[in-house]
Amino acid sequence: MKKIHFLFTIHNHQPVGNFNHIFRQAFSQAYKPFLSLLEKYPLIKTTLHYSGPLLEWMETEEPDLFARIQALVEKNQVEILGGGFYEPIFSVLREPDVLGQLNMMSGFIKQKFKTIPKGCWLPERVWDPVLPRLISAGNLSYTLLDSTLFLQAGLPPEQIHGYYVTEREGHTTALFPINMKLRYLIPFEQPHTTIEYLRYLASDEQEIAVTYADDGEKFGIWPDTYAWVYEQGWLEAFFKELEKNKHMIHMMTCSEYLKTHSPEGLLYLPTLAYEEMMEWALPAEAVTRYEDMLQNLQHLQLKDKYSSFIKGGYWNNFLAKYPESNHMHKKMLLISERFEAWLASIRQPPTNGTIETARRELYKGQCNCAYWHGLFGGIYLNYLRHAVYEHLIQAEKIIDTSMHADNPWIEYKVFDFKKDRSQDILISGKNLNAYFSPRDGGSLFELDFKPCSFNIANTLTRKMEGYHRRLKLEHEKNSLQQNNHQPVSIHDMTKVKEAGLQNRLIYDWYQRYSYIDHFVDEHTTSDAFSMSRYSELGDFVNRPYSLKKIEQNSSRDIVTFVLARKGFVLQNHQEAPIYIEKNFHINDSLMEIRTSYNIVNCGPTDLELCFGVEFNLTLLADEDQFRYFYFPENSSKKLFMNTKRDFMDVASFGMKDTWNGFGVSFSMEPNANIWMFPIETVSQSEEGLERTYQGSTLLLHWKTRLAQGQEQKRSIKLCLQKFIGENEKKI
């Protein structure tokens, strides 16, 4: 008689920083009804994984669920998987943090569910060959990986079942291959289709096991799935089919199978993830070539034959694909290193829990979702990026307070922060962090207001994505017709949430940082500038500046430094030499950055110039009554953050965030003209292609005549304030 062991595994996750109403919706439409049906069918065994952010939310909002899960564990119907508590990608963490995250999850599971996890969920199933040593050090014995990785290792499809063993430095880990076809069948095809597939895999001669593991959000949160899975009864019908076929389909948890069955063999896997992830990790231009190659192979009927030799990118390359991801990652590494050094320096550990609080804040800042982008919004969601920065800054503040108490302080460090063999300038104080990149036009790429744990420079540059070409194909511009009978996997959907979105595709040719120096033609319009369709006359925007000097005045909490570049501007089709020196004066106690520009005409002819300094900042929301621009001469007028306007002869203006309780003010000498517009990206989400606000651009500019040998000065003061409601309160 045919028999097959079915290892049914569900992964449930919500990211750090997600909105409470999304947690609530996911709980009500997916996690709770799934568990309720599981309780009705005691023969259905499953291995469950809940990520730390979701566990913490349930502990606060739905604590009764813990007892229900524990009861299922005690009946041996459910096994709980361990893993990194805040769902980090292990391959980009420092080893102490990998072990810390694993141990935090194991400790939580032991305390709340009275069981010790034996397996480890790998976030996004990203595999690195070093992991067996780390997983073993966390007292975990197995993990689950997509069958794609086993194909890449050279196994034929018929041998990808059960589990294999791999090792690193003698430390072993069992690897369960996740059946890819099952991932697309469940829950999108009728239950009997899955049963027939399991029947096809079952064997009369040997006991084999097939593993299904995928997101719990497929069961109620993905588009159209709640009606299909619960209201139309797919999940209950599936459970009934499994029970009806129990003579053939034997359900087990992963650890049960591991305990009772031998491995299929020893295997070493390459550094990969699931198929879609490997495609998403490619640069945008490579994605289009990759898709074309797959289509050509499909047309030649060769795709299935050679797919095992085809792979995309590597997850870590998201750090190269998105510089903003790299900035968050290197900030995380910096705080992790500081945390470890702080622990080593403490002679008498405090008893007030500050160490564990700082550790938890650091680990929250490692949640993977904001660091990459594929089918879901990921790095394109500014509130997820904000959560990463917020928690990293919170951890940083705990360390700072331990070292400096409540005293004023400031310090600087010049080193290769971004790990690209360039020198960056990091200035930190009690109130501010200001990170500068001399190589990128002497620009500012991070500005943290520590009292509110807010990085106001947390913006995103507009860039091409491989899926943008879908908007240019006529037959894919409109939303697909909805199937009234059953849902379609979101991997197969192409939806557009806004008409004319293809006209919103704008790509920047430089990173949208701040203190970027421009020379533009006097006929350039703000529209042309906002769409990156203008002529840049100078070579200062993204070219290197030299650090001339840097000094610290600790007694006054001030750091000053000078960045300079000798470049050119195009005048009458000739390159005219220009020297720019920008002097930064950062006063942490006053929470201000004063910048004076010296612009020198080094050529033999007079110049007519339009010189501008660009800022890209965010208060996160584009249209929100609590976040707005204001002008002192008309204090009653508040402009949303997505305002697109030109202003003439402005002495000062500001931004206010009354929700978080801080403001940013600018003053210019002499008065400046301002171009103001939002930076909006076109990105993919589970609901379709959509426009997303990333930040606001401000170009402060002056038209001027500069005689040969003449020097002109421009100054800008940026000041941050902490306040309650509308009343500013200096701290």
User: Domain boundary residue among 230, 256, 271?
Assistant: 271
DSSP for 128-175? -TTHHHHHHHTT--EEEEEHHHHHHTT--GGG--S-EEEEETTEEEEE
Alpha-carbon Rg of the chain, whole angstroms? Answer: 28
CA distances from 545 to 268, 548, 549, 579, 593 (A): 47, 9, 12, 11, 19
The residues near 603 (Cβ < 8 Å, ≥ 6 apart) are 576, 577, 578, 708
In a domain, residue 425? The reply is no
C-beta separation of 435 from 446 below 8 A: yes
Q: Number of structural domains, the chain?
A: 2
Picking from 106-120, 262-276, 475-489, which range would have the lowest pLDDT averaged per residue?
A: 475-489
Q: At 42, which CATH number? A: 3.20.110.20
Note the pLDDT of residue 644: 97
Q: Please report, as a single letter, which amino acid is at residue 594.
A: R
Residue 73 lies in a domain: yes
For residue 503, tell me if it sits in a domain: no
Residues with Cβ within 8 Å of residue 97, at least 6 apart in sequence: 88, 336, 362, 363, 366
Please count the CA atoms within 13 angstroms of the CA of 464 that sit on its side-chain side. 12
Higher pLDDT, 298 or 494: 298
pLDDT at 484 over 50: no
152/125 Cα distance (integer angstroms)? 15
Q: Which domain-ending residue is among 215, 239, 271?
A: 271
Instruction: Assess if residue 452 is contained within a domain.
Output: no
> Is 446 within the bounds of a domain?
no
Query: Would residue 400 show up in a list of annotated catalytic residues for this protein?
Result: no
For residues 697 and 616, the answer to whether their CB atoms sit within 8 Å is yes
Instruction: Dihedral sign for Cα 337, 456, 418, 273, please.
Output: positive
Domain assignment of residue 245, given as a range: 4-271
How many Å apart are CA 241 and CA 248, to the nearest integer? 11
What is the reported pLDDT for 688?
85
Confidence of residue 488 (pLDDT cuts 50, 70, 90): low
432 backbone dihedrals φ, ψ, rounded to 5°: -130, 150
Given 79, 87, 97, 124, which residue is catalytic? 124
Any domain includes 361: no
Residues 6+ away with beta carbon under 8 Å from 79? 45, 46, 47, 48, 73, 115, 118, 119, 253, 254, 255, 256
Model pLDDT, residue 480: 38
Single out the catalytic residue among 62, 215, 243, 411. 215
Map tokens 């879901």 to a residue: 376
**Dist. CA 458–CA 694, nearest whole Å:** 8
Do the domain assignments include residue 664? Answer: yes
**389-433 per-position pLDDT tens digit:** 999 999 999 999 999 999 999 999 999 999 999 999 999 999 999
Q: How do residues 126-137 score in pLDDT, each as one tens digit?
A: 999 999 999 999
Which residues are CB-contacts of 120 (< 8 A; sequence separation ≥ 6)?
81, 82, 83, 102, 135, 138, 140, 142, 143
DSSP secondary structure letters along 178-211? EPHHHHHHTTTS-HHHHHHHHHHH-BSSS--EEE
Annotated active-site residue 64? The verdict is no
Which one, of 158, 155, 176, 156, lies nearest residue 166 by Cα?
176
Residue % of the chain over a pLDDT of 70: 96
CATH of the domain at 624: 2.70.98.10
Q: What is the mean pLDDT of residues 563-585?
A: 96
0.85 exceeded by pTM: yes
What average pLDDT score do residues 556-573 get?
95
Task: Evaluate if residue 225 carries a pLDDT over 60.
Answer: yes
The arithmetic mean of pLDDT across residues 514-525, rounded, is 95
Choose one of 271, 287, 318: the last residue of a domain.
Answer: 271
CA angle 11, 191, 255 (to 5 degrees): 40
Distances (CA, A) of 682 to 250, 283, 505: 46, 16, 6
In a domain, 294, yes or no: no
| Contact (CB, 8 A) for 674 and 699 | yes
